[in-house]
Amino acid sequence: DAGVTQSPTHLIKTRGQQVTLRCSPISGHKSVSWYQQVLGQGPQFIFQYYEKEERGRGNFPDRFSARQFPNYSSELNVNALLLGDSALYLCASSLVDSEYNEQFFGPGTRLTVL
Amino acid sequence: GNSVTQMEGPVTLSEEAFLTINCTYTATGYPSLFWYVQYPGEGLQLLLKATKADDKGSNKGFEATYRKETTSFHLEKGSVQVSDSAVYFCALRGATGGFKTIFGAGTRLFVKA
């Protein structure tokens, strides 16, 4: 079975541009979460979606938005990119919306903002 | 709010040495605790977990015990291999923090042959 997939693998943008990152969860998983991992740090929670509804949001500005589609895939959008948005963006899926369920992480999208 | 603190790296060990990576947490209530591993250029993989006090998670020779009294979840392995070289993240989820996972800063481990 395929794991969590993310696209693109790498992305280079310039300041002020907009970017869309995509995530496909493991088949049957209904919960998708997004994390930002700046180099040398642990991942920071951005969003969680379950059954197409936003269930949680981290401490990120409104430039960050996301959505989940009927097939449970998800997109993360970042507007007006800043140099500080350069990071590895990780998507994680889990079967249901529970603290006990393991989250399975994708390989990430590495975003570089110049 | 909830938080995780883990020992700073890098940790450099020789093959077959004993490994301990310390992790302590702050949380209201009783979260689930996790260790994740990240190999170079890859995403995170769950290494082990524990969901209640005194639970011991184990996988691939790694172990960690959920200690409520010391709010700790230290990672141990009796004999490390070169292939264990990676970054290890301690994390928690649940309690009053909801379903988001809160990660520590990570500890890089280098194992020399």
Q: Which positions in chain A touch B101 (Cβ < 8 Å)?
A: 33, 35, 43, 45, 92, 103
Inter-chain touch A42–B103, beta carbons under 8 Å: yes
- What would the two tokens of residue A9 be? 């693998």
Mean pLDDT of the region A43-64 = 93
- The predicted structure's pLDDT at residue A1: 62
Full DSSP string of B31-62: -EEEEEEE-TT--EEEEEEE-STT-EEEETTE
Inter-chain touch A56–B31, beta carbons under 8 Å: no
Interacting residues of B110 by C-beta distance below 8 A, sequence separation 6+: B10, B11, B12, B13, B85
Mean pLDDT of the region A48-73 = 93
Q: A74-91, pLDDT tens digit by residue? A: 999 999 999 999 999 999
Q: B68-85, pLDDT tens digit by residue? A: 999 999 999 999 999 999
Are B99 and B38 in contact by the 8 Å Cβ rule? The answer is: no
For residue A108, the chain B residue with the least C-alpha distance is B43
- The predicted structure's pLDDT at residue B98: 62
Q: Which positions in chain A touch B98 (Cβ < 8 Å)?
A: 48, 55-56, 99
Are B67 and B82 in contact by the 8 Å Cβ rule? The answer is: no
Residues A1, A45, B107, A26: what is their CA dihedral angle, to the nearest 10 degrees? 0
- The predicted structure's pLDDT at residue B99: 73
Q: Which of A103, A104, A110 to mutate to test the interface with B (most CBs of B within 10 A)?
A: A103
